[in-house]
Amino acid sequence: MQDLTAFIRGLPKAELHLHIEGSLEPELMFELARRNQVDLPFATVEAVRAAYAFSNLQDFLDIYYQGARVLLTEADFQDLAMAYFRRVAQDGCRHVELFFDPQTHTDRGVPFSVVADGLLAGMAQAERELGITSKLILCYLRHLDEDAAFATLRQAEPYLDRIAGVGLDSSEVGHPPSKFARVFQASRERGLKLVAHAGEEGPPAYVWEALDLLHVDRIDHGNRSLEDPRLVARLAKEGMTLTVCPLSNLKLCVVDDLKVHPLKRMLDLGLHATVNSDDPAYFGGYLGENWTAAAGAVGLTREELVTLAKNSFEGSFLNEGEKAEHLAAIDAYVAQAD
């Protein structure tokens, strides 16, 4: 019998919760800082890594926005994306729906077009060279106001044929989904898919708002939904996909120990959970490491791993034909695995 890590590595899977700025490894951060003559508040790669001890989401965000300052040119964004794709190609990843935070860059004077063109170039290169497909999701920063989100949507207008959807990220508590109801409605009217971070640190009420006021197609994280049985029943009934991020939850102290991570409980409750990395350069692992760490800690069976893999494609924004091809590839893989 193949060991669990090898079985996981070969299992075709999609990543649905990945902030591309969160895949900036310290080595690339230094290289781009040198290339662009940006001062970093750290002397060495080791000093950067040593600073990655977080006690909550805000702790992390402060350092994550700092790191993003080295990203200035189209080539920077393309290199960032390609470094990520090369890494997850080794994890059996076949498709990615990646978040980007335009406001983090436009607020520093980097034009929206530089960010979008660079990422789109990296995505095209990954499809050509690695066979990994991808879609782009524009995230509104929830610590900023709705007018700023509307301005971002206007800047995105020329790119809407190449952007699959919009999301909501950054500091959750104190910035409920209701604050963005109108810009999500406007995004929906432009044919965009909708997702939102909810229930990572925020209460179950924020998940209800994401469903009822934003009309999201997926919930990012959603952990705290488990505190509300009526919400769990609603999510299960609607087959709502949750993009769960085990190592992120550990690093940001959403869980105290991976052994008590709710992933298995979510599956037992009939929730459509998926496994993702969130910000892999900051949280100690890419897609494959999230799968193996979570599977080992909560004791997932092969059957549950296959369910998670199928959930990742079923919950994606691929079309039905594409989903069917990926699901068939999973079945073929399982059939030949000994």
Catalytic residues, by residue number, are 200
Q: How far is CA 285 from the centre of its chain?
A: 13
Beta bridge partners of 95: 14, 133
Taking CB under 6 A as the criterion, the residue among 19, 69, 135, 218 binding ligand HPA is 19
- Which structure tokens are listed for 317? 């924004």
d(CA 53, CA 147): 33
Q: Does 200 bind ligand HPA (CB under 6 A)?
A: yes
Q: Does 15 bind ligand HPA (CB under 6 A)?
A: no
Angle (nearest 5°) at CA 91 between 88 and 93 = 65
Tell me which of ligand HPA, Zn ion, none is bound by residue 311, counting a contact when its beta carbon lies within the kind-specific cut-off of 5 to 8 angstroms. none
- Kind of pairing between the strands at 241-244 and 272-275: parallel
- List the x/- string, 260-299, binding to ligand HPA by CB under 6 A: ------------------xx--------------------
Residue 69 vs 326, nearer CB to ligand HPA:
69
Q: Does 22 bind ligand HPA (CB under 6 A)?
A: yes
Count Cβ neighbours within 10 Å for each residue of 190-206 and write b for 16 or more, e otherwise.
eebbbbbbbbbbbbbbb
d(CA 13, CA 287): 9
- List the x/- string, 69-108, binding to ligand HPA by CB under 6 A: ----------------------------------------
Tell me which of Zn ion, ligand HPA, none is bound by residue 170, counting a contact when its beta carbon lies within the kind-specific cut-off of 5 to 8 angstroms. ligand HPA
* Closest CB to Zn ion: residue number: 278
State the burial class of residue 159 (Cβ atoms within 10 Å of its Cβ: 0-12, 13-18, 19+): middle
Which residues within the stretch 164-193 sit at the binding site for ligand HPA (CB under 6 A)?
A: 169-170
Q: Does 278 bind Zn ion (CB under 5 A)?
A: yes
Q: How far is CA 214 from the centre of its chain?
A: 19
- Amino acid at site 228: D
Taking CB under 6 A as the criterion, the residue among 13, 95, 197, 323 binding ligand HPA is 197
Site of interaction with Zn ion (CB under 5 A)? 278
Site of interaction with ligand HPA (CB under 6 A)? 19, 22, 57, 64, 169-170, 197, 200, 248, 278-279
